[in-house]
Amino acid sequence: MSRRRHSDDSDDSDGQPHKRRRTSEPSEIEERLESLICRVGEKSNSSLESNLEGLAGVLEADLPNYKSKILRILCTVARLLPEKLTVYTTLVGLLNARNYNFGGEFVEAMIRQLKECLKVNMYNEAVHLVRFLSDLVNCHVIAAPSMVAMFENFVSVTQEEDVPQVRCDWYIFAFLSSLPWVGKELYEKKDAEMDRLLSQTESYLKRRQKIHVPMLQVWTADKPHPQEEYLDCLWSQIQKLKKDRWQERHILRPYLAFDSILCEALQHNLPPFTPPPHTEDSVYPMPRVIFRMFDYTDDPEGPVMPGSHSVERFVIEENLHCIIKSHWKERKTCAAQLLSYPGNNKIPLNYHIVEVIFAELFQLPSPPHIEVMYTTLLIELCKLQPGSLPQVLAQATEMLYMRLDTMNTTCVDRFINWFSHHLSNFQFRWSWEDWSDCLTQDLEKPKPKFVREVLEKCMRLSYHQRIIDIVPASFSVLSPANPVCIYKYGDESNRSLPGYTVALCLTIAIKNKASNDEIFSILKDVPNPNQDDDDDEGFTFNPLKIEVFVQTLLHLAAKSFSHSFSALAKFHEVFKTLAESDEGKLHVLRVVYEVWKNHPQMIAVLVDKMIRTQIVDCAAVANWIFSSELAHDFTRFYIWEILHSTIRKMNKHVLKIHKELEDTKARLARQHKRRDSDDDDRSSDREDGPLEEQIERLQEKVESAQSEQKNLFLVIFQRFIMLLTEHLVRCETGGIDVFTPWYKSCIERLQQIFLQHHQIIQQYMVTFENLLFTAELDHHILAVFQQFCTVQCTSKLFMFSLLCG
Amino acid sequence: MCSGGTLSILRSDSYVDLSQYRDQHFRGTRYDQERLLRKSCTLYVGNLSFYTTEEQIHELFGKSGDIKKIIMGLDKVKKTACGFCFVEYYARGDAENAMRYINGTRLDDRIIRTDWDAGFKEGRQYGRGRSGGQVRDEYRQDYDAGRGGYGKTVQCQLLFKWC
């Protein structure tokens, strides 16, 4: 061992750790220990086994001084680096063989950590801990019978009464998902008990409700790959594993190389583990549907893809998901880690990676990470594997296109966004002719609709002529409109239109930098078509005034977003006055649409700005979207982008005021505390006055904002119900099939509202149930609501009883 | 005890870290500037084509979150776009995601570069090159059709040659 200077790196370039003889700062030691531990298993000149052995030696020597740090680090890697599970269980196994007490303390620390995770609803991390503990059986750290006993307690959760199904689901998942690692060992030692556990699991899985599944499936069709509920899929995989006598060949098991050392080690018994009871605050993971798009037929020349019910498939997918979860912030590292997943000559790794990435991108209700991450990650992967990955991606795109007819609308949205953004990084090169089949279909059908929306998004990232140039002439029917402004007073031939002269007047005035007052006085001359409603005092709803002003202003400011925003800001007063009433707000939005219907992007940014500057409110936007004027564009993507953006703004607004309230309450509490600890008699309750007033005001503000929020959803749901009921009644009386492309789109948009904003909707459930989603509703619509209830994982018992009867 | 901790390898966020660039015209200390950069919601975007529009920038950068404002960079003399802009988000987290996932990807077929900005101030929308555009377009030797062709110095030399 060479003596190293304080400033040197603690490792050789080959990753072999060396003993340090110098003393360093405790935090530096902790950093170095953490680095050593985290890096074991990475690419190295030495074998994994010799690195593990070396590291075990170093850690053993450091135990007297740094035991608690080492315990903490090992517990943390168990929880946060599940993709390297077996590397670290082997390490712990080696340490346990050298130091039995340490092994015992580690197991205790893990159990403490597991309990804590469950208490704070960190269920995904808890699964990693359970799996780690079970693999420790393979490393002779934990005695198999005690692990079986823990699993017996897990499975007995299914016997609990009056608990949410998602609670039982988690304990079953934790049990089943550990079996690929430890099934063989447990079955060898305790086959009767395991059989009993498996049969109890089977009967639970048979009786559990699966109403939520359709809402979470990416495709509604079962062909070519069924979209299975995650527990059903896992159960099939474990059954197959059992049939194969628990032979599992994919997982890398470094501990096998150390068998002679490890089998000499003394094992520990897990303390009896009682699952913490269900509480009001428990929030369990949402159920999932397993996304599959490839099978062994898709890569005929490469290694065979493990079947959908093979346990290998489960392990590969779990590990790839974990890698993304670990490295999502570092796209280059993430891509490199994915591509260096072990076993890449025995499995078609590129296909697995692409499938896992799309699984996340299309996950319902939401992807685990921001959508744009996946686009950029795929681009990085293409850079690292230019000879193979682009082809897999092209194949995947083709397959997704072929199956558009049964793809969930929300997923189609994400597909559109991904594909157009991806193309913009590759000069929009694509073999559009391959998709000519869509040209002969009704434009409302999924395939032509998809191509239209993609081309529109591509245009937004470039410019109109570019899109015309990149598609074959035959695709012109699907090409986006030239995003030009439509000014109704622009032509001399429109002279006869009411308000034409005022429009001209306004144009000149605005060009001459008129003030708001001057604008008001010009507008005074505009007659009100609703003459009888007109007051003599001030302004009431005058649609013609709104029309003339908004048309003219938007036309003058059409050059760019910035120009339009400046215009809105400069004449904010006029807007506020004209749009004071609800009808006024609605009409402003109508005129914006009339002017900019060729440029959906402009409509979206204008609506956003008008909400933020309070020219219109969220409810007005919702009503406008469902209005008859917009019926023609109702199924277009940009409409839903606007609606969801509006809802999000509303939600952020409520959160912001809520936070203000909490912050002010905290300030008051601090003030009290200071006074209590301060003996000064001069300070008094008087000082609380301003803060208490502020709190009261903020309380009112919060209530008012929440009321607005609830009202927004009420409007949206009401309008949906009206629209859908109209369609259902029309179909029934006309004797035509309900399931038109429009209907499918509309129902899925309703589902999307529930899923995208489930946490907020949850808060107002009682109102929605009592006012809107009553038993009298058509069962098609009610089903959406009921599915949503089952997807929600709360402790509300009444919801569970809703499920049962 | 353990469930709160994390690992430094998982904390790594290199795309969000500050670059080496510091604005020489910044009024204040290095420390002030860095403090502002670390909490900024504003990004500088460079290597744009002169023809890239605000709309395109809005579409691309809107993918990481809601945009508060875009300010196009202008040639100080001509007052036309000169290949850079500022994008300001409402939330820092959205700006961070732009640094992680939009920086180094393409807009108008060009790899664009984003960097933290201490905050827009009037005047900063103008190029600082002698000819009115950006400094980098003064001295570069290559031909870039999206950025006015040759660099300004080269253009002058060519002009001189033909006189």
A561-615 pLDDT per residue, tens = 999 999 999 999 999 999 999 999 999 999 999 999 999 999 999 999 999 999 9
Chain A residues lying within 8 Å of B54, measured CB to CB: 560-562
What does the DSSP assignment read for A482-520? P-----TT-SGGGTTSTTHHHHHHHHHHHHTT--HHHHH
Model confidence at A180, pLDDT cuts 50, 70, 90, reads very high
pLDDT of A328-354, one tens digit each? 999 999 999 999 998 768 999 999 999
The answer to whether the CB of A721 falls within 8 A of the CB of A768 is no
Distance CA A417, CA A268 (A): 53
Structure tokens at A720: 């949906």
* Higher-pLDDT residue of A531, A48: A48
Given this model, what pLDDT does residue A24 score? 62
Q: Which of A40-44, A638-642, B12-16 has the lowest mean pLDDT?
A: A40-44
The answer to whether the CB of A180 falls within 8 A of the CB of A315 is yes
- Residue to substitute from B53, B96, B101, interface A, most A β-carbons within 10 A: B101
User: What residues have CB less than 8 Å from A718, skipping those under 6 apart?
Assistant: A772
Under DSSP, is residue B102 helix (H, G, I), strand (E, B) or coil?
Answer: coil
Q: Which residues on neighbouring strands pair with residue A538, listed in sequence order? A: none
pLDDT of B23-61, one tens digit each? 999 999 999 999 999 999 999 999 999 999 999 999 999
pLDDT of A459-481, one tens digit each? 999 999 999 999 999 999 999 99
Given this model, what pLDDT does residue A525 score? 82
The answer to whether the CB of A784 falls within 8 A of the CB of A750 is yes
Res A233 pLDDT > 60: yes
Cis peptide before A365 (omega within 30 of 0): yes
Distance CA A1, CA A797 (A): 64
Given this model, what pLDDT does residue B2 score? 47
Q: Label residues A333-353 b or e (16+ Cβ within 10 Å = b).
A: bbbbbbbebebeeebbbbbbb
Tell me which residue in A76, A120, A326 faces B5 most closely, judged by beta carbons.
A76
Handedness of CA A117, A122, A123, A125 (dihedral sign): negative
CB spacing of A375 vs B6 below 8 angstroms? no
Question: Which of A:409-428 have CB within 8 Å of B?
Answer: 417, 421, 424-425, 427
The percent of residues in chain A predicted with pLDDT above 90, rounded, is: 78
Q: Scanning the structure block, which residue is given the tokens 């920038």?
A: B57
pTM: 0.92
Given this model, what pLDDT does residue A26 score? 75
Q: Is A80 in CB contact (< 8 Å) with chain B?
A: yes
Model confidence at A187, pLDDT cuts 50, 70, 90, reads very high
Residues of B in CB contact (< 8 Å) with A are 1-3, 5-10, 12-16, 53-56, 58-60, 63-64, 66, 70-72, 97, 100-102, 105-109
- Read off the pLDDT of each residue in A724-743 and give the average, rounded to a whole number: 92
Distance CA A486, CA A555 (A): 8
Q: How far is CA A256 from CA A86, A93, A94, B58, B149, in A?
A: 10, 11, 12, 55, 64
Q: Is A629 in CB contact (< 8 Å) with chain B?
A: no
Phi/psi region, residue A217 (left: phi>0; alpha: psi -120 to 50; beta: rest), is: beta
CB spacing of B66 vs A608 below 8 angstroms? yes
Structure tokens at A267: 């094992």
Structure tokens at A785: 């609501």
Model confidence at A703, pLDDT cuts 50, 70, 90, reads very high
Res A5 pLDDT > 60: no
- Read off the pLDDT of each residue in A502-511 and give the average, rounded to a whole number: 95
CB spacing of A376 vs B105 below 8 angstroms? yes
Given this model, what pLDDT does residue A535 score? 52
Given this model, what pLDDT does residue A16 score? 44
CB spacing of B72 vs A375 below 8 angstroms? no
CB spacing of A425 vs B105 below 8 angstroms? yes
Given this model, what pLDDT does residue A299 score? 86
Given this model, what pLDDT does residue A604 score? 98
Tell me which residue in A329, A379, A561 faces B12 most closely, judged by beta carbons.
A329
- Read off the pLDDT of each residue in A7-25 and give the average, rounded to a whole number: 48
CB spacing of A122 vs B58 below 8 angstroms? no
Chain A residues lying within 8 Å of B100, measured CB to CB: 329, 331, 373, 376
- Read off the pLDDT of each residue in A693-703 and give the average, rounded to a whole number: 93
Mean pLDDT across chain B:
94
The percent of residues in chain B predicted with pLDDT above 70, rounded, is: 97
Res A674 pLDDT > 90: no
Mean pLDDT across chain A:
91
Counting as low any pLDDT under 50, the low residues of chain B are 1-2
Question: Which of A:633-662 have CB within 8 Å of B?
Answer: 645
The percent of residues in chain A predicted with pLDDT above 70, rounded, is: 93
Res A357 pLDDT > 70: yes
- Shortest alpha-carbon distance between residue A80 and chain B (Å): 8
Length of chain B: 163
- Read off the pLDDT of each residue in A521-537 and give the average, rounded to a whole number: 72
pLDDT of A124-172, one tens digit each? 999 999 999 999 999 999 999 999 999 999 999 999 999 999 999 999 9
CB spacing of A372 vs B10 below 8 angstroms? no
- Read off the pLDDT of each residue in A13-40 and give the average, rounded to a whole number: 72
Model confidence at A72, pLDDT cuts 50, 70, 90, reads very high
Given this model, what pLDDT does residue A800 score? 35
Given this model, what pLDDT does residue A6 score? 41
Q: Pick the closest to residue A329 from B103, B5, B96, B104 (CA basis).
A: B96
Res A425 pLDDT > 60: yes
Q: Which residue of B has its CA nearest to A119?
A: B3
User: What residues have CB less than 8 Å from A700, skipping those under 6 apart?
Assistant: none
CB spacing of B56 vs A461 below 8 angstroms? yes
CB spacing of A120 vs B3 below 8 angstroms? yes
Tell me which residue in A31, A330, A562 faces B54 most closely, judged by beta carbons.
A562
- Shortest alpha-carbon distance between residue A328 and chain B (Å): 9
Model confidence at A25, pLDDT cuts 50, 70, 90, reads confident
- Shortest alpha-carbon distance between residue A214 and chain B (Å): 28
Structure tokens at B77: 């003399």
Q: Is A75 in CB contact (< 8 Å) with chain B?
A: yes
Question: Which of A:376-395 have CB within 8 Å of B?
Answer: 376, 379
- Shortest alpha-carbon distance between residue A76 and chain B (Å): 7
CB spacing of B2 vs A80 below 8 angstroms? no
CB spacing of B56 vs A125 below 8 angstroms? no
CB spacing of A125 vs B3 below 8 angstroms? yes
Tally C-beta pairs within 8 A across A and B.
111
CB spacing of B63 vs A122 below 8 angstroms? no
Distance CA B22, CA B33 (A): 8
ipTM of the complex: 0.96
Chain B residues lying within 8 Å of A457, measured CB to CB: 59
- Residue to substitute from B1, B6, B8, B9, interface A, most A β-carbons within 10 A: B9
CB spacing of A79 vs B2 below 8 angstroms? yes
Given this model, what pLDDT does residue A724 score? 94
Q: Which of A5-9, A73-77, A490-494, A581-585 has the lowest mean pLDDT?
A: A5-9
For chain A, the straight-line distance linking the first and the last C-alpha, in angstroms and rounded, comes to 72
- Residue to substitute from A81, A376, A603, interface B, most B β-carbons within 10 A: A376
Given this model, what pLDDT does residue A685 score? 61
Res A533 pLDDT > 80: no
Cis peptide before A224 (omega within 30 of 0): yes
A218-224: list long-range contacts, CB under 8 Å, 24+ apart.
A218/A289, A218/A291, A218/A362, A218/A364, A218/A407, A218/A408, A218/A411, A219/A403, A219/A406, A219/A407, A219/A408, A220/A406, A220/A408, A221/A403, A221/A405, A221/A406, A224/A295
Res A532 pLDDT > 70: no
Model confidence at A531, pLDDT cuts 50, 70, 90, reads low
Given this model, what pLDDT does residue A541 score? 85
CB spacing of A329 vs B60 below 8 angstroms? no
CB spacing of B101 vs A375 below 8 angstroms? yes
Given this model, what pLDDT does residue A789 score? 78
Given this model, what pLDDT does residue A29 score? 85
